[in-house]
Amino acid sequence: MTTARPQSLPWPYEAKEGWLYCQGVRLADIARQWGTPCYVYSEAAILEAYATLARPDPEGRSARICFAVKANSNLAVLRILARAGAGFDIVSAGELRRVLAAGGHPERVVFSGVGKSIHELRYALEQGIGCINVESLAELDQLASVASSLKRIAPISIRVNPDIDAQTHPYISTGLKENKFGLGIQDALEGYKRALKNRHLRVVGVDCHIGSQITTLKPFQDATQRLLLFATDLHGLGIELEHIDLGGGLGICYHDEQPPSADELKNQGLQMVANWAQSTGCKEPQVVFEMGRSIVGAAGLLLSQVLLLKPSSDPEAKHFAVVDAAMNDLMRPSLYQAWHDLMLLHPSQPKAELRRWDVVGPVCETGDWLARDRSLGLFEGDLLAFASAGAYGSTMGSNYNSRPRPPEVLLRESGQVDLIRRRETFEDLIELEKIPRDLWD
């Protein structure tokens, strides 16, 4: 285990004399003040990642960046991005309510997702949402009906499934024909024809999203090319697109991945759309990206403490380091077999024996592991950090085994430390439950 800042940690994380710091704050002090497990986010890292995506390309063109709320829905994180000018990509009415509570503007929100309820469609239209990404013909008809009942016109984009392999984990691949998301080319074309005939629907864009944690440019290039060919067909129907949504899913470095830079991806998308507009004579539409992980993923850590060590005398058996974080706090390793870099928050003990440890949690499941086969020198009580936990960490958390979810702490650019979500209590867990009176008799 190294005390140097690993590749998976961005500035402003740094190691000083074996202690891990962020924005001048020693993270071991955070662990001692707020307890473990505990999520920590860097405001500076979030803003730097967003600014990279939002800045203009060499030709002065800018994309609209809609933050994927599912990646990290903490109100303070959403507020930081709203103040920076971000739009938002949501997949539920609850996420829309969070955006509004954080001061986000509904007209800068795109609503994705395959199973929007009638209630959610109604709520989105009532709030003045910017665009609804329609994912089925049935949804298109339902939306038209809801808009008619409200005497409103629904701004729509249809999500096209381009049948592109994103070369990522199958659970987070969304652009293949066997995936549940979006519509194939022919069905999407039928959807646009229907929309043109309905006075309660207004076509504003076309949308595509092929997956998450994508680490090469080629899937993006292929999907964009297919989407632009489809946009040419829409032009033939007389549709002038206000925006082309190229989706998101740009990966980050968890271990040894080398994803393309945000600048490279953004600039290439902008250039491809500009070239298409010039070649077809179409007005150049706004380019939209739905980015989540690439904005907040590397900015967050999960802090944890070693509860006990279980070395084995059997040379063929595993050595287990049991920590106080678990699969209910960080689901990605159990769900995706995901890697998170692991490091000590404090100087390593010189006499700690190096072993190959499986780092596991207290949850009563064999699948409750956070890191496997790591060469570590550990003592009971050591404080650890799981890197790149700012996306799909807290948002995928649960109360399995009646475990309260951990607090979330924001390290501000000013050096201030803010608790942005307190640790849950047992009373929080049972607040919505009630034992019928007759069961006490």
Give me the active site residues, please.
364
What is the Cβ-side half-sphere exposure of residue 216, based on CA atoms within 13 angstroms?
A: 9
Structure tokens at 221: 């290039």
* Token pair listed for 201: 């629907």
Distance, in Å, from the CA atom of 259 to the CA atom of 250, rounded to the nearest integer, reads 7
